[in-house]
Structure 1
Amino acid sequence: METENIKVEAIRADLWPQLAEVFGEPGDASGCWCQWFKLTGTQNRELPRDAKAARLRESIAGDPAPGVIAWINDEPVGWAAVEPFSAYPSLGRSPITKRLADDPLDPWAVTCFVVRHDFRRRGVAAALLRGAVDHATAQGAVVVEGYPVDTAVRPSLSSAERYHGTVSLFESAGFHEVRRPSATRAVMRFEPAA
């Protein structure tokens, strides 16, 4: 998938050095390594960064890939995590994302975006979201969900607080809001086959 000069592809084991470059910048991503929704709160606090990085490295060797990586020219610039809901144990425990009776049981979930500082405001997150949806549908997903923040309600959200993506980003990719568990958070859904 390519938009202008942004290329997005499913992550592979041989791309680990480039993914490590995306996560290696100072900030929240370098401490999380996309393990926030895969671990309990205690595990997240106690597991060292290098162990979290090792968990992500191990997961990218699996099938299906747990996310997509973005490039501008040959430079790795961003990441989006996307896997079935069941791959993220913490999602089921969260009041924002827990399943309701009429929800699809195991949609694919876009949980996290990381865009390197120097490449922000260039369309990378939008390209990552389109790439995440393409990856999920290629794996057979019939529903893709996101849990973004609403910057129209709270414009002061920091970039660290926007790692879920924004409501406007998901809307622009064709997602629709299915509920609003809090004033600033939405559950949004895309059904590729529809």
Structure 2
Amino acid sequence: MTQRTLHGVTLECVRGDIANQPNMDAVVNAANAELRIGGGVAGALHRAAGPGLEAECRPLAPIRPGEAVITGAHDLPNRYVIHCLGPVFGRDEPADALLAACYRNALDLAEAKEIASLAFSSISTGAFGYPMEAAAHIAFAALRKALPRLSHVRHIRFVLHDEPSRRLHERVLDGLGAGPANPSEGDKT
């Protein structure tokens, strides 16, 4: 497992179940527009959270690609669920900007609620068809850009469902410190 600290925020990639992250204040749902139970991440989170999550989501829907909303976590072991609607690859354009907006908007909600730790899945890479490597680069670029302005979020975890996805995200994270974002910031691995 790679951990990297940038701007005082720990970033990590793990293999696991997004619905079982008890040491995270919030989990991020790769939601559908209606914020209902579905397949993949949305299905796993809704099933684990129980019917109260869907009931709380109902008046918040629909959301558009790139948007995010926040709810309680109900029966999940977290305080909050942040729901992001990622773009459907090949349909929702500009896909890269909409995907980056998911991460930016999730972090904005986390900051507003003073959330210290949150776990992301790989948004849009399941049924929405976004190529995993391209999505990982967009996600980490969006995070890297947002990190300097975060005052409450101190820990970001990517929870991936299989080992190849975890390794891919870890490789992208390993390269995150390269580049001129802030050369004076001490990166730690």
Q: How high is the TM-score relative to the length of structure 1? A: 0.39
**Structure with the bigger percentage of strand:** 1
Q: How high is the TM-score relative to the length of structure 2? A: 0.40
